Amino acid sequence: MTALAHDLWRPESGCGDECLPAADEVPTVPVARRVLRLVAATGMLLAGVGLVLLLPVLPGPERRAATRAWARATVRAFGVRLVIRGRLPRRRALLVANHVSWLDILAVLAVAPTRMVAKREVRSWPVVGLLAVAAGTVFVDRSRPRALPATVGRVADALRAGRSVAVFPEGTTWCAGEGAADCRPGGGFRPATFQAAIDTGSPVVPLRLRYRCEATGAATTAAAFLGADTLLRSVARVVSARELVVTVTVTAALHPARDADRRLLARAAESAVHLVPRTAAPAWAGLRPVPTLTSAATVPTSVAAPAVAAPTSGAGRELDLAA
């Protein structure tokens, strides 16, 4: 495989240390509270070991409820408040979200205890790797591009079996435009996994993840995991931050037609997540107008979305899970 092909397969974010907050930009809690948060989070991760043993013997609804409860409790243990806006469809779906932090996985599981698509390295993470395996995570070997069709096939199989699947199609973490002044809102959505939704007739539900510091009222990258940042350093910022909030917004579902173009579908989902304005001129503008998901008429003809205009099941619904 050429170096160019390798770079295309393993996208690199333009975000680095310059996108992370300075030490005095985020209000912090006392050292004693940081220690308590670390102890609580460690306890929840250890409780995950028991969950690993329990999940395989539980029926589907109970398995999902247990996973959701564990994820929400773990988010709270880290001192983070979770806010959920909107409501997921009851049927299976391909959930696609922007990627900012390791916390994203817990936030998505707290909203929708689905099968995840994750890089192969996650399998070796302590406790989290065991949980990922027990939850039926589809692992991606990013060093083997030829394995991608098989990965998409496994995602399609899960959807056919009635399971929802969540993926971060940016392929790496970004600061969501909240870091350095010249940062983009995020990375482009890789279209491969969207083919699984088309092949199975499953809706695509974009999830928008945003982090803010309630103490300042401003967006923050305190939870971000970027560039050469280490996991320990990122965890330390999270447990130190005062009134850190992660908001997961469930946007309107996209319903692809059988002959939909996965690239246009990926761009439509990307537009929903990154809130690309109608007046912008994105790179794909020459293909076909990209919807802002405000009216069904703006959706590309290859992506039928009868419920896009007014998702009454989720509009105005907000669930605030206090830490």
* 4 domain residue, yes or no: no
Dump pLDDT digits (tens) for 53-77: 787 788 878 888 988 999 999 999 9
The phi, psi pair for 52, rounded to 5°, reads -55, -40
Q: How many CB atoms lie within 10 A of CB 302?
A: 18
* Helix, strand or coil, per DSSP, at residue 124: helix
Q: Can you give the length of the chain in residues?
A: 323
Residue 309 maps to a domain: yes
Residue 296, both tokens: 């069904």
H/E run at residue 7: helix 3-9
* pLDDT score, position 194: 96
Query: Is 6 inside any structural domain?
Result: no
Q: Which residues of the chain have pLDDT under 50?
A: 1-9, 277-318, 320, 322-323
pLDDT score recorded for residue 136? 77
Does residue 2 belong to any structural domain of this protein?
no
Structural domain contains residue 109: yes
Q: One-letter amino acid identity for 248?
A: V
Closest CA to 178 of 216, 152, 134, 143: 216
Residue at token pair 């460690």:
42
Q: Give 18-51 pLDDT, tens digit per residue.
A: 778 887 788 999 999 999 999 999 999 888 878 8
DSSP state of 115: E
Vertex 198 angle, CA 99 and 10, to 5°: 35
Enter the pTM of the model: 0.80
Check if the beta carbon of residue 170 is closer than 8 Å to that of residue 11.
yes
- The tokens for 103 are 């916390």
Q: Is residue 227 within 8 Å of residue 13, measured between CB atoms?
A: yes
Contact predicate 106/144, CB 8 Å: no
Tokens of residue 197, six digits: 């939704």
Residue 12's pLDDT is: 66
Which range marks the domain in which residue 139 is found?
15-177+184-321
**Residue 149 neighbours by CB distance under 10 Å:** 11
Question: What CA–CA distance (Å, rounded) separates 27 from 37?
Answer: 16
One-character DSSP codes across 268-279: HHHHHHHT--TT
Residue 282 has a pLDDT of 39
Examine residue 27 and state whether it is found in any structural domain, yes or no: yes
Split into its structural domains, the chain has a count of 1
Residues 6+ away with beta carbon under 8 Å from 289: 298, 300
- What is the pLDDT at residue 95? 97
Positive or negative CA dihedral for 90, 93, 98, 103? positive
What is d(CA 254, CA 277) in angstroms, rounded to the nearest whole number?
A: 18
pLDDT at 179: 59
Considering the domain boundaries, does residue 1 fall inside one? no
| Beta carbons of 252 and 293 less than 8 angstroms apart | yes
User: Which two three-digit tokens encode residue 162?
Assistant: 């009635």
Could you tell me the two tokens for 155? 């995602």
The structure tokens 């069904």 sit at 296
Please report whether residue 7 resides in a domain. Answer: no
* Whole-number Å distance between alpha carbons of 205 and 189: 13
